[in-house]
Amino acid sequence: MTEIGARTPLQQVGMICAQLESAVAAAMELTRARDDAIRKALSFGYPTADVARAAGLSPMRIYQIRDGK
């Protein structure tokens, strides 16, 4: 993960923050992809309960994603 051996504390802060920024961007991209897949599954007629179970989310959250919230 993060090698912090011979770096100064300020270098560590910068390196860790850069990694965090990258991880957050990746998480946002994956969230968009998940939401697109959820909307596609719903448009294909899959029941909300099945989509919720597959996504590990509540049916209420599936409705929110469907509605763009």
Dmax (CA) for the chain in angstroms is 56
Give the pLDDT confidence of 33-47 residue by residue, as tens digits: 999 999 999 999 999
Where do we find the tokens 């049916």?
A: 59
Tell me if 52 sits within 8 A of 58, measured CB to CB.
Answer: yes
Q: Indicate whether 49 belongs to any domain.
A: yes
Tell me if 16 sits within 8 A of 2, measured CB to CB.
Answer: yes
Residue 22 clears pLDDT 80, i.e. is over it: yes
Q: Indicate whether 36 belongs to any domain.
A: yes
Mean pLDDT of all residues in the chain?
Answer: 93
Distance, in Å, from the CA atom of 65 to the CA atom of 69, rounded to the nearest integer, reads 6
Q: Indicate whether 4 belongs to any domain.
A: no
Q: Indicate whether 16 belongs to any domain.
A: yes
Q: Which domain holds residue 21?
A: 9-66
User: Which pLDDT does position 47 carry in this prediction?
Assistant: 98
Q: Indicate whether 3 belongs to any domain.
A: no
**Mean pLDDT, to the nearest integer, of 1-29?**
87
**Total structural domains in the chain?**
1
User: Which pLDDT does position 7 carry in this prediction?
Assistant: 84
Count Cα atoms within 13 angstroms, Cβ side, for 2: 13
